[in-house]
Structure 1
Amino acid sequence: MELNVSIWVFFIDVVLFIILGYSTLYVAKRMSRYGEPLNRFIVVVAVSLFTATIGRALDIVDDFTENVAPIVSVEWVLYFLSIIGIAYGMLSYISHIERIILPVPSKAPGSAKLSSGGYLYMGGSTRELVEFISSIDAPVLVITRSPWKYENLGEHVQILWVTQVTDKGIGLTKLHVVIESAVKFLRGGGRLIVVDCLETLILYNDFTAIFRFLTALKDHAVETKSAVLVVVDKETLKERELNVLLREFIPVRNLKSLLKTSA
């Protein structure tokens, strides 16, 4: 058999074959080791890498073949299938992770009627806030640094955890991701968004950015006839910052005042 390509082309083909082969074995050994959806992703990637490895093996064969047209056609098909498989696996896995981290839009609007707009809760009672969220018959999204405070309040309550542990929540500086998720929730039937992490967000972002974030959230809430409730501790805000917020958000102490008494 005579080599019909340069030694460098042959060398590259062999190196890529070894890399793909090793990657296939590495991924295949992890099949059935984890639960879904990670295992499904691993299976798809393993099959796709195996397909690409076969294609690379054929590429080495055609380095010694004069009539390479039939082999090249098979290679293109194998590479095409492997790329499609890897892309599908990655997109499926990312979508699943987002469904876990990001709140799922509610499809049941509930019977509670809330006054649309933006509000500042300055009552300071966490217990009252939790009881109010638990009692209302409407889809609620809580954006918080303390998700455990709002666990087991009912299926109508979704939690969006802002945290530096970004694989389990959303980063504290990723305001665009938070607003995107919140808007998706509102347009999916959400009726109330509670922001219970204002002080922490200000620490990781400047106040101007947070104010823009909150006003944008309020505008989307008004558009969807929903409400935004921002939990505020007056002692942690500067007087100027509080005054700016009060220009856009209505202060409330009695949370039940958010409920409409008539249609």
Structure 2
Amino acid sequence: MSIIIAVLAEAAFIGLFLITVGHRKRFISHYPELKRFYDYAMLSFFVGALGKSVFLLLDLRSNNLILMTPEQVDLVNSIGNLLALLAAVIFIAGWWSLLTVLMERYELIPVIEFAGKEEQESLKPGLYLCNLPNCYPVIERLLRGRAGLIVSRHPPEVIREHLNIEKTPVLWLTTVRDRNAVSPTRLEFLLQAMVDFMRKTDNPKIIFLDGVEYLILENGFAPVFKFLTTLKDYTTIYNTVVIVPIDAKSLDEKTVNLMYREFERMKPQP
């Protein structure tokens, strides 16, 4: 019976290792910031499987299936314990890496950077498409008297320079691991981050969501369209205006027409 249990334990470790190897690429594509944690976990399963293989020799010896001298038993036992300890250390390192990533989440604090009267007071909460050649002037006006959040394909330092902002939080849509970065494939996480920002104050807010074409490229149109419509529903609840730049030339006609039917368009200012 002990041999059967040992073999099943060995098979479980090997199975876990093979499963993690098989799903590694897909997992990292969705959660690039958790790559280190995933690799540590995968390595710990591999080392654990080696350790169980070593201890399996002792089980075979205990059942008189192989012959080993006392010195060999001590050596095999030491190697097995060392591998088990190494697997535990690697897994702990991976767990620490996971906690570090989760604790480094960029906090989105609503801050009114530019005091003054709100521009375009007639602009009701909702999601608006901006198909102007340059939407930055629109955002600069809307940031007056409103707490803002910028989500963009451009690095934060570029956005801060363009809009002349310092305190307004900026999220970077990228697969690069960074404190204020969000992977384009994590639509649910991005939506939750923006909704959490909306909830933090009842005062008027503005969100600039730049890079919708990039989101469509990475996720497909249907998930992004659902993401935008859900975001639109939240804007009416939490007194928020969301501006989404859109380049109609980079999208097919059907996609553009659906977007235009669902969302209002910004009107050029006189």
Q: Give the TM-score category using the shorter length.
A: 0.5 to 0.7
Q: Which of 48, 69, 82 matches 1:15?
A: 82
TM-score using structure 2 length: 0.57
1:195 matched residue in structure 2: 209
What is the aligned partner in structure 2 of residue 233 from structure 1? 247
Q: Residue 234 of structure 2 aligns to which amino acid in structure 1?
A: H
Trace 1:20-99 onto structure 2 (pairs within 5 A): 93-99=100-106
Task: Tell me the CA shift for residue 128 of structure 1.
Answer: 2.1
Partner of 1:42: none
Match of residue 180 from structure 1: 192
Structure 2 SS opposite 1:154: coil
Distance 1:230 1:224 in 2: 17
Contact 1:140–1:156 at 8 Å: present in 2 too? Answer: no
- Paired AA for residue 19 in structure 1: L
Of 105, 110, 124, the residue aligned with 2:109 is 105
* Structure 2 Cα separation of the partners of residues 166 and 150 of structure 1: 18
* Alpha-carbon RMSD: 3.5
**Given residue 243 of structure 2, which amino acid in structure 1 is its aligned partner?**
L
User: What is the alpha-carbon distance in structure 2 between the residues aligned to residue 17 and residue 236 of structure 1?
Assistant: 54
Task: Give the conservation status (yes or no) of the 8 Å contact 1:140–1:192.
Answer: yes
TM-score normalised to structure 1 length: 0.58
8 Å CA contact 1:105–1:184 kept in 2: the answer is no
Q: Structure 1 stretches of 5 or more lacking a match?
A: 1-5, 25-44, 50-85, 257-263
- Whole-Å Cα distance in 1 between the matches of residues 134 and 211 of structure 2? 14
- SS in structure 2 of the partner of residue 118 of structure 1: strand
Q: Equivalent of 1:142, from 125, 137, 150?
A: 150
What secondary structure does 2:133 align onto?
coil
Measure how far apart 1:124 and its partner are.
1.6
Q: Which amino acid aligns with 1:213?
A: F
SS at match of 1:98: coil
Q: Structure 2: 5+ residue runs without aligned partners? A: 1-61, 63-72
Q: Equivalents in 2 of 1:146, 1:10: separation in Å? A: 55
Q: Deviations over 1:193-215 (max 9, x none)?
A: 11110111111121111110111
Instruction: Tell me which moved more, 106-115 or 228-237.
Output: 106-115
| Corresponding residue of 2:257 | 243
1-structure distance, mates of 2:158, 2:86: 48
**CA–CA separation in structure 2 for the residues paired with 1:20 and 1:200:** 40
In 2: Cα distance, 1:145 partner to 1:125 partner: 15
Structure 1: distance between partners of 2:129 and 2:176: 28
The CA deviation string for residues 118-143 of structure 1, in whole angstroms up to 9 with x for no partner, is 1111212144245335x522111121
In structure 1, C-alpha distance between the alignment counterparts of 2:243 and 2:227, rounded to whole Å: 13
Question: Residues 209, 12 of structure 1: CA spacing in aligned structure 2 closer, same or farther, 3 A cutoff?
Answer: same
Deviations 1:83-127 (A, max 9, x none): xxx97x66762344212xxx5131669763552011111212144
